Amino acid sequence: AAVTNPFGEDRWWMGLDDPFQGLATCHEIVNAIDSGDPESYECALPVHMDGSCNGLQHYAALGRDRVGGKAVNLCNENEPQDVYIGVMEEVIRRVAEEASKELDLDESTSENWTKADRTAWKNNKAAKLVNGLIDRGVVKRTVMTSVYGVTYIGARTQIQEKIEEKLEAKGHDVDEIEPEINAACGYLATMTMDVMGTLFTGARQTMDWLATCARLISQQGQPVAWLSPIGVPAVQPYRQNKPYTIYTLVQKVVLTNSSENLPIHKSRQVSAFPPNYVHSLDSSHMLLTALEMDRRGLTFSAVHDSFWTHACDIDEMNGVLRDCFVDLYDQPLLEELKRTWELRYPTLNFPDIPERGDLDLNEVKKAPYFFQ
């Protein structure tokens, strides 16, 4: 019905995330069946495979983190792992535990509370407000962006959007309880980040090492620079660009001095480096895959960690992207990064690289849900 009469009474396809892509897929399926030989039908739609929380996949590979690698489908498992569900379940458990507490505190005597009492009261009140509202969608964006440097405020905003939707659906006036929602979502954001650090200790250690090295470099007044695995030089551009506003009779004009002679923005150099370094790794993986697909004469397109090709070539692309990922991480990437910095900044004492786990990256070649 969606193909023969898409704007009839049954418009189920309009409820899809990408309705016209869904409708186009329906057309291709019907055309393939009607052709009489579906296996020989030339499909015009690209088939895409996406990484499973790709940033965490790269961190797990860097640190050979078996626990983290299993959570993001680097291992040969019979069932797909959902990192968002794993984080959600632990957050739900902690929130429910906190919400079940009955504190022996009298709000009328709050002026006599200790700092610990106030924290306990705020956390308990926050947990009671959001208990029962947490699902996969509430934590997904924060988990996904945690490896790309999401801030506390960013995480709270992401979570608050979802929580307010749920409260409104239950008939609450969110404007009336806005301060309570802000506090509760801040509590949830902190907890989600804590759970991430607990579940992905290898990723956290690598992230902290990268940030520490970036801090040492920025303290010298130098921008953080490195060479990507495919040989592309990268220099972080963050400097103290002070904007100047010029008011005219017609409008105001904002000018920014982007000179490379300006002092660097030290805090941004530090906070941005771990996600930028991981971006240089995932882009290297994408380009290595593209080069190998081109060498084989196969069509390939990609956006970040979403790789596309024709339906008839999807199995071959799956093999290529796995081989390229393993080849990428067979290189001593962090050792090369540290060696380059030691040559460039001989007076700096960079910390040792975090100890690696026992993840065998060759499992990726057999991991069915690595990209799916």
Give catalytic residue positions.
Answer: 50, 140, 305
Region for 336 from its dihedrals, namely left if φ exceeds 0, alpha if ψ lies in -120 to 50, beta otherwise: alpha
d(CA 121, CA 325): 48
d(CA 160, CA 165): 8
Cβ–Cβ under 8 Å, residues 45 and 335: no
Number of residues that make up the chain: 372
